[in-house]
Amino acid sequence: MLLLRNADVYAPEALGRRHLLLGGGKLLWMGEAEPALPDALAIDTIDLDGARLIPGFIDGHVHVSGGGGEAGYASRVPAPLLSRYTRAGVTSVIGLLGTDDVSRGTNELLSHVYALREQGLGAWGYCGGYHLPPTTLTGTVRGDIVFSDALIGVGEVAISDHRSSQPTLDDVLRLASEAHVAGLMTGKAGIVHLHLGDGVRGLELVRQALDTSELPPRVFQPTHVNRKKALFEEAVALAKRGCHVDITAFPVEEGEDAWPAAEALLRYLDSGAPPERVSISSDAGGCLPCFDEHGRVCGMDVGHSGALLDTLNELVARGLLLERALPAFTRNVADLLRLPGKGRIAVGGDADLVALDGQGAARHVWLGGVAHVRAGDVVRRGMFER
């Protein structure tokens, strides 16, 4: 067991100075007065001396097996290693496939999800990828979600993008119904995680789906909604109708027709849309390409989970209270994806915790109460990390 003393707890709501007792992967107790514990328990103690303690981030859009592939085989991005997540304060990830859902499939994705689990990280995934029919293990989306404990939805399915399979409304409705019913059968999220490109159709397919079907809005989660300013306004309107929308923490150049993640969240919170229906993810391990007018790659970057902590610190520096910023990285994601014990600091919940230093970096990181980062140093690495 481990006793954390004098933590300034954001759960994500601000609780003030607390002491916390961790054990068996859980938060066992939390209180204002330090507990009297028997010496025989030999409990380790860390005095956080007023450091801010937050729930570990849930990165809801990660290419755990690597992304890319739009510019030939050499452009396939390698899979991120364990410490790339933990040193950024990420304690749980949702893995997915993107453009390359042929040479990379659901079986490989699941292998990486299970490998991360073996190393202590919370990890789940989506079956499918950009294209329809979706790549699956069992032959159907419903079968994958029902029979694989780690698969909780389908995605990232591309719409309004030249790399998509140009799905029709019927295609989207059929896919969403498969995911929704599987979610009902299993208690999982059962959502369709939708990649949004730069196409002029924007979120029109999702609006049509809501207008013409009985499917609940929560089934549809568009991501990359800040890549175009007009697209972002469409996403805010959909959030007011019940959809959950996901902002991507990718780099935005000055003058670009896009909103940086921090600016997008501030605008979302000011819009009057429900604050619980927005999240921020990193696209870690994914290729961030730009294309010329012929659809050819003319430049490329790679997403990384550290963008989440960078975005959080920018939000706080711009005056947003930490307790208002945090849910988009923690509780909102856990609630949408039905991940019990995640996204909160609560007795009985998982001991996935991050203590921030004065500059907002992850000074200590615990996954299930086990230290992965201590005093800023990575102390647990993946099998093939030096």
In the structure encoding, which two tokens stand for residue 74, read together?
């050499």
Paired sense of beta strands 151-159 and 191-196, if any: parallel
Which region among 103-107, 223-227, 294-298 has the lowest average model confidence (pLDDT)?
Answer: 294-298
- Sequence-separated contacts (24+) of 69-72 with Cβ below 8 Å: 69/99, 69/100, 69/103, 69/104, 69/287, 70/99, 70/163, 70/287, 70/289, 70/297, 70/300, 71/289, 71/296, 71/297, 71/300
Cis peptide before 263 (omega within 30 of 0): no
- The most distant pair of C-alpha atoms in the chain lies apart, rounded to whole Å, by 70
Q: Is the pLDDT of residue 297 over 70?
A: no
State the pLDDT confidence band at 291, using cuts at 50, 70 and 90: low
Q: Is the pLDDT of residue 283 over 80?
A: yes
Q: What is the pLDDT of residues 133-176, one digit of tens each?
A: 999 999 999 999 999 999 999 999 999 999 999 999 999 999 99
Catalytic residue list: 283
195 assigned to a ligand binding site = yes
Which region among 39-48, 50-59, 215-224, 365-374 has the lowest average model confidence (pLDDT)?
Answer: 39-48
Q: Measuring CA to CA, which residue among 35, 132, 84 is closest to residue 373?
A: 84
3-state secondary structure (DSSP) of residue 77: coil
Average pLDDT over residues 72-81: 86
Give the residue extent of every domain in the chain: 2-54+341-378, 57-337
Contact in structure between 196 and 160 (CB atoms under 8 Å): yes
CA–CA dist 111, 78 (Å, integer): 14
Q: Is the pLDDT of residue 31 over 80?
A: yes
DSSP assignments along 184-224, one per residue: HHHTS--EEEEEE-S-TTTTHHHHHHHHH----GGGEEEE-
- Sign of the torsion angle spanned by Cα atoms 126, 129, 131, 133: negative
| Domains 2-54+341-378 and 57-337 in one fold | no
180 assigned to a ligand binding site = no
Go through the chain and tell me how many residues it has.
Answer: 386
Average pLDDT over residues 296-317: 87
Q: Measuring CA to CA, which residue among 194, 251, 206 is closest to residue 227?
A: 251
Q: What is the pLDDT of residues 334-352, one digit of tens each?
A: 999 999 999 999 999 999 9
CA–CA dist 178, 175 (Å, integer): 5
Helix axes 306-317, 261-270, angle to 10 degrees: 50
Q: Which amino acid would we find at residue 96?
A: L
The predicted structure's pLDDT at residue 371: 98
The predicted structure's pLDDT at residue 299: 64
3-state secondary structure (DSSP) of residue 377: strand
61 assigned to a ligand binding site = yes
Share of the chain above pLDDT 70, in %: 97
In the structure encoding, which two tokens stand for residue 329, read together?
């990285």
Which region among 102-106, 122-126, 138-142 has the lowest average model confidence (pLDDT)?
Answer: 102-106
Contact in structure between 312 and 323 (CB atoms under 8 Å): no
244 assigned to a ligand binding site = no
The predicted structure's pLDDT at residue 357: 97
3-state secondary structure (DSSP) of residue 181: helix
Q: What architecture (CATH level 2) is domain 2-54+341-378?
A: Roll (2.30)
Of the options 3.40.50.150, 3.20.20.140, 3.90.180.10, 3.40.50.300, the CATH number for the domain spanning 57-337: 3.20.20.140
